[in-house]
Chain A
Amino acid sequence: MTTSTQPILQTRDLSISFGSVDALVSVDFNLRAGEIHALLGENGAGKSTLIKLVTGVYAKDSGQILLDGKEINPRNPREAQLLGISPVYQEINLIPTLSVAENIYLGSQPMRFGLVNTAAMNKQAEALLNRYNIDIDVNRTLSSYSVAIQQLVAIARGVDMSAKVLILDEPTASLDRHEVETLFNVMRQLKADGVGIILITHFLDQVYEISDRITVLRNGFKVGEYNTDELPRVKLISEMLGHELTQTLGKQATSETAKPKNQEAYIRVDGLGRKGYLEPIDLTVNEGEIVGLAGLLGSGRTETALLIFGIEGHDQGTIYVDGQAVHLRSPSQAIQEGFALCPEDRKTEGIVGELTVRENVILALQAKRGWFDFIPIKRQQELADEMIEALHIATPDAEKPAGQLSGGNQQKLILARWLASEPKFLILDEPTRGIDVGAHAEIINIIKRLSNDGMSLLVISSELAEVVDYSDRVIVLRDHKKVAELKGDEVTENRIMQVIAEEPNV
């Protein structure tokens, strides 16, 4: 273990921020030659940002990137690749209509008399793939092969361009068990060849199966660096989700008694699911109740929200509103039932950046009222001003394009849009992600206030301290399945983490 502690790729005090959001703060990352190093963290933790910095997609604000002890400043992915840092992304960056061999040697084809020497190229490609025990016809187009093979071809291409560092971003997301095994064999061989491999994945089983060491990031900070076999699963999860936040956020003990018990569930979801997307799930949300939805990234939290809101279709189960079965096949139907969903990705799914703050506020309400029941401009202005004041949206006026607001204010604006539509049931997907501390606290207060006013809320969050703070009940998901429902005294961070960490095959 101690023979090669000199890292092959290293970052020192690496920082970058986008606008007011610090995406990466003073991160020291150490990758050794001949190791598989898992880079873990929830969405927005800074994994992708770190990768984009070392591969030259982003330019750092401060800090150093060292390769073999020498500082490097790649200005674009091509420069990084020439230095020996090869990323293989989830969406494969190859050309599906070219042959396997052409893909591997694109840009560096063996030439003869100024023409591509196809025979030699095919031979080399075959030899290269044979080293990894991949026996395929390199003359066929890439798209005729499975995603797994395409991924391996991408890796082969990356390694052939003399990679010292190979970065695999969610390589197993769309592979079956057998294909994962093939990939792991290739990874082990590359490791033996002395390549340093960074693995990003949200499959913790695979992390424990293949990785030597783990670095955990959270909210742009490095939480720690561990040897995989010395880090228990529960500890890992608590590091990823931010255990120590408990001390900073006090739990409100009083809120529980204030609410009436034993009411008829306002929202009842009965066996809602879709094959291959989400296992049938049961859940209820009472009037004025906040139900938390916890679980790791990829556990099915967002999927649950999308199924309930009608964005994704379900093939089984029923949703009851106040005891009445409803059939929701689109968001507009869900909205008519008084549902609302603040989506996770506010840039693409939430804000209409070109429209003004006012127009964004009234959008859902207007969609609900239809084409001809136009909200008079004066009423629009009143609504927008009310919301700006109530949610403390920082904007000079309601006519500013929404795209120019900061992340936290955009999040509040989407919330405002839904509050303007006067929902009875509000689903929030990661309402506090990527926003500054002040806005964070405000949004949590708003969530509590809404529930006190009688609104039913389903809140998805990776911040366990936060979930524990406001939730009356917590539903825990793992592997696209509901695994536990915690209430009363059970609603603690430790209990949630224990449930998440339980071996899946029990």
Chain B
Amino acid sequence: MSEMTQPAERGFSLQSLTRNRAFWPIFALLLILLGNRLIAPDFFNIEVVEGRIFGSLIVILIRGAPVVLLSIGMTLVIATKGIDLSVGAVIAISGAVAAVLVSTTDINPILAILISIGVGALCGLWNGILVAYFNIQPIVATLILMVSGRGIAQLITNGQIAIFNDETLAFVGTGVIAGIQFPIYICIAVFVIVMLLVRRTAIGLLIESVGANDRASYYAGIKAAQIKLFAYVASGICAALAGLILTADIKGADANNAGLWLELDAILAVVIGGTSLDGGRFFLGLSVIGALIIQSVETGILQSGLPPTFNLVVKAIVILIVLLLQSDVVRRWISNSVNRLRGQMRGQTA
């Protein structure tokens, strides 16, 4: 009797754990980190050299910072049942603005950074107006800036890679405070601010309501257009910050390649985090986990010594597995086959 009930009890507690929506993304992240540890035995090592913390885990956080930032903005946009394809291009624009300002004018670099963030906000405003007030489908509306944005960035940099030599701007990408690199602080700050903004005010609820049922929200008196505008502007600002980090890191703005395809990584991060592309409920923290999963895979591949030509394919396979793990269909299929197997074994023993 006790033999029968024990596994059932354990199964129940495990089930309630796996039913938690945070379980699978975190589980996948831990699994990937463990996989990396198997490939590279020093993966979990963290050491302090000259007052600076080094280690693969830190590398993931630093390298992952741009996608983490994008995924925060993207989560809000997707929650309104939208999508923002332009964030990669906004990265190029904001980087170009900051780099050109500090290298060709005498402007205070702090001001240049603020202007660059403002330009990102303007890009978001543009997307938001097209979507919210002109009712253009989000994928089309943001496609416009996705395509034209790199052109705008090229015009700003005059077609060159805009190199600069300003320590303040470079600090955004490579500066260190208390042993930790500055991009990590930016991510934490943005996450906390956005979290407070959406969960300590009504904005989060209103975003979810608009995303889940646009029409009912309108009937309930919610100004959906303003809500959507907010989401796209937030996404633009996040993209601008990501652009500053990427530009500061290499001390140059590459209009063609900065942030290339990162919009897709950001969307993927949001999906891995469990926010539906149909809008509605959103999960900021899990989107960040999703971004870290993507970066962990990339860092793992780089450290494994696998030829770089394998990168994209291996990444795709790992991400596919993560998504399949989350799919209800696959999970039902797995649990059904497990149950059948159990039944068969029980039948054999009896």
Contacts and interface: CB of A to CB of B under 8 A. Distances in A.
Question: A and B: partners?
Answer: yes
A369 B220 CA distance: 12
Given A354-B280, A371-B203, A372-B201, A331 B218 contact: yes
B108 to A, nearest CB: 32
Q: Which of B200, B213, B220 has the most CB of A within 10 A?
A: B220
B219 interface: yes
Contacts of B216: 348-352
Interface residues of B, number: 21
A354 B212 contact: yes
Contacts, number: 77
Interface in A306-334: 311, 330-332, 334
A364 interface: yes
B87 interface: no
A99 to B, nearest CB: 28
Given A351-B216, A359-B209, A368 B201 contact: no
A408 interface: no
A416 to B, nearest CB: 12
Contact of A363 (B201, B203, B222, B281): B222
Interface string A356-377: 0001000110111111111100
A488 B206 CA distance: 45
Contact of A350 (B200, B208, B219, B281): B219
B168 to A, nearest CB: 33
B220 A364 contact: yes
B21 interface: no
Given A366-B205, A370-B202, A371-B203, A355 B212 contact: yes
Contacts of B311: none
B253 to A, nearest CB: 35
A349 B219 contact: yes
A355 B208 contact: yes
B347 interface: no
B256 interface: no
B342 interface: no
B305 interface: no
Q: Which of B209, B216, B217 has the most CB of A within 10 A?
A: B216
Interface residues of A, number: 31
Interface in A336-351: 341, 343, 348-351
Contact of B209 (A352, A368, A374): A352
B191 to A, nearest CB: 20
Contacts of B212: 352-355
Nearest to A350: B216
Q: Which of B203, B205, B206 has the most CB of A within 10 A?
A: B205
A331 B217 CA distance: 10
Contact of B221 (A335, A351, A372, A373): A335
A367 B213 contact: no
Given A354-B208, A371-B202, A374-B202, A363 B213 contact: no
Contacts of A218: none
A367 B222 contact: yes
Contact of B205 (A330, A348, A349, A359): A359
A478 interface: no
Given A348-B213, A354-B281, A359-B209, A341 B219 contact: yes
A162 B17 CA distance: 58
B127 to A, nearest CB: 20
B215 A348 contact: yes
A417 interface: yes
Contact of A332 (B200, B205, B223): B223
Contacts of A359: 205, 208-209
A485 B201 CA distance: 46
Interface in B280-329: 280-281
A353 B213 contact: yes
Contacts of B280: 354
Interface in A47-92: none
Contacts of A350: 216, 219
Interface in B212-238: 212-213, 215-223
B202 to A, nearest CB: 5
Contact of A355 (B201, B203, B209): B209
Nearest to A418: B220
B213 A366 contact: no
**Top 10 A-B pairs ranked by shortest CB distance?**
A335-B221, A354-B212, A367-B221, A332-B221, A352-B213, A354-B280, A367-B222, A364-B220, A363-B220, A374-B202
Interface of A: 311, 330-332, 334-335, 341, 343, 348-355, 359, 363-364, 366-375, 417, 421
15 contacts: A311-B218, A331-B221, A341-B219, A348-B215, A349-B215, A349-B219, A350-B219, A352-B208, A363-B217, A363-B220, A363-B222, A364-B221, A367-B221, A374-B202, A375-B202
